[in-house]
């Protein structure tokens, strides 16, 4: 099959109809991490197949990159953005400048060295701002498609907390769970087997007894698990009473050991129960792990949850002048004035945990 014929095929046609070597190129390129793909290496894997010269492999890859969604098949983020800009077929000044920014000043672009970009490309700040808007409209991860758009509104909580004046009622949200019981027919067989009637031999009676006991144990285990979950949830509500009264700003420091000691169980048991469980409150639906955090001492000697500290740091960054973003040291000093002892390195750690970039990368035009 000629390369011209290949160019008219869809990605499914390519995978199904192309020669084995070319199909391998597609699958190999698709499975590689950004920065790993190498046309020469792929071509070298198939030195006896004429279609796999580096130049022809490059031509096949270029064709793949023109399929939907725009940007797939790229070897790195830079190429991914360039492919998308090329497919836009827009030749406005801002689009042309956007292409040049990625093509000629990608290193400066990733470091947000705007002055250097303007100097190299001979553009002013307003032109750069318009080009950056074009770049912001691109998709850095086209392969994810609609997977990243899953609506978490369909999340089903395991518990619902209902307020009863200053107390709270825990309602397990297990109505969708079936009620387990042993089939009556098998119960009757078991009863007849115990009475040694109707010709049921000893091996059959033994089999029935073992399965009957296993079924009872399984049902009892499910009930025990439900009781344990209720105990853990009750302990969380009691220990985080102020949160359920006033919301996230009133969350207190709490570790797994606190709950374990309160209900008389192992920490490992609490961890297993909490994992992957959610609770619906007046302030939204939260994963149970949300309620666990370390403590930090304020300037007045009080203990506060690290979640509160992170929230304050996030608020400072949200309110900062984006043309002069706050450094970690500046945030540390502002937090101290607000009554929190937070070292610069701690600010950096919390900022990274919240996926907030350093000040230099937060700077806007």
pLDDT of residue 198: 60
Report the pLDDT averaged over residues 218-230.
91
Least confident of 18-27, 117-126, 236-245: 18-27
Cα angle 344, 347, 353 (rounded to 5 degrees) comes to 145
Residue (of 313, 166, 180, 307) closest to 241 by Cα position: 166
235 has a pLDDT exceeding 50: yes
Measured between its terminal Cα atoms, the distance across the chain in Å is: 51
Any idea which residue has 């270029």 for tokens?
62
348 has a pLDDT exceeding 50: yes
- 86-134 per-position pLDDT tens digit: 888 778 899 999 999 999 999 999 988 999 999 999 999 999 999 999 9
Say if CB 169 and CB 162 are below 8 A apart. Answer: yes
Q: Is 335 exposed, middle or buried (0-12, 13-18, 19+ CB in 10 A)?
A: buried
CA pair distance 42, 58, nearest whole angstrom: 10
328 CB-near residues (< 8 Å, 6+ apart) = 344, 345, 347, 348, 351, 358, 359
CA pair distance 309, 336, nearest whole angstrom: 11
CA pair distance 70, 202, nearest whole angstrom: 70
- 172-198 per-position pLDDT tens digit: 988 777 788 888 887 777 777 665 556
Beta strands 278-281; 284-287: pairing state: antiparallel
Residue (of 283, 307, 297) closest to 340 by Cα position: 297
């Amino acid at each position: 099959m000629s390369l011209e014929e290949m160019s008219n095929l869809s990605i499914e046609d390519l995978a199904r109809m192309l020669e084995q070597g070319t199909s391998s190129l597609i699958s190999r390129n698709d499975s590689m991490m950004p920065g790993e793909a190498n046309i020469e290496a792929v071509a070298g894997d198939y030195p006896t197949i004429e279609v796999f010269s580096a130049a022809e492999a490059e031509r096949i890859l270029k064709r793949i990159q023109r399929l939907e969604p725009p940007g797939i098949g790229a070897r790195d983020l830079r190429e991914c953005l360039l492919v998308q800009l090329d497919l836009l077929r827009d030749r406005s000044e801002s689009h042309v400048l956007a292409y040049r920014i990625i093509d000629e000043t990608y290193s400066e672009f990733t470091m947000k060295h705007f002055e250097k970009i303007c100097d190299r490309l001979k553009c002013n700040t307003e032109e750069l701002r318009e080009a950056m808007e074009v770049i912001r409209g691109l998709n850095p991860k086209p392969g994810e498609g609609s997977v990243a758009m899953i609506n978490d509104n369909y999340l089903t909580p395991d518990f619902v907390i209902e307020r009863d004046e200053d107390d709270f009622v825990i309602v397990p949200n297990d109505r969708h769970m079936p009620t387990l019981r042993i089939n009556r027919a098998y119960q009757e067989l078991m009863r007849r087997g115990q009475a040694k009637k109707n010709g049921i031999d000893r091996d059959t009676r033994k089999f029935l007894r073992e399965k009957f006991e296993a079924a009872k144990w399984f049902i009892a285990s499910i009930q025990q698990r439900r009781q344990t979950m209720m105990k853990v949830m009750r302990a969380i509500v009691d220990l985080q009473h102020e949160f359920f009264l006033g919301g996230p700003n009133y969350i207190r420091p709490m570790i797994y050991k606190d709950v374990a000691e309160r209900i008389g169980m192992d920490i490992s048991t609490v961890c297993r129960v909490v994992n992957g469980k959610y609770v619906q409150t007046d302030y939204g639906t939260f994963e149970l792990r949300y309620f666990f955090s370390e403590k930090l001492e304020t300037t007045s000697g009080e203990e506060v949850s690290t979640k509160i500290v992170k929230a304050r740091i996030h608020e400072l960054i949200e309110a900062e002048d984006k043309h002069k973003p706050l450094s970690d040291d500046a945030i540390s000093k502002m937090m101290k004035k607000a009554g929190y002892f937070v070292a610069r390195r701690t600010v950096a750690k919390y900022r990274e945990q919240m996926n907030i970039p350093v000040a230099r990368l937060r700077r806007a035009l």
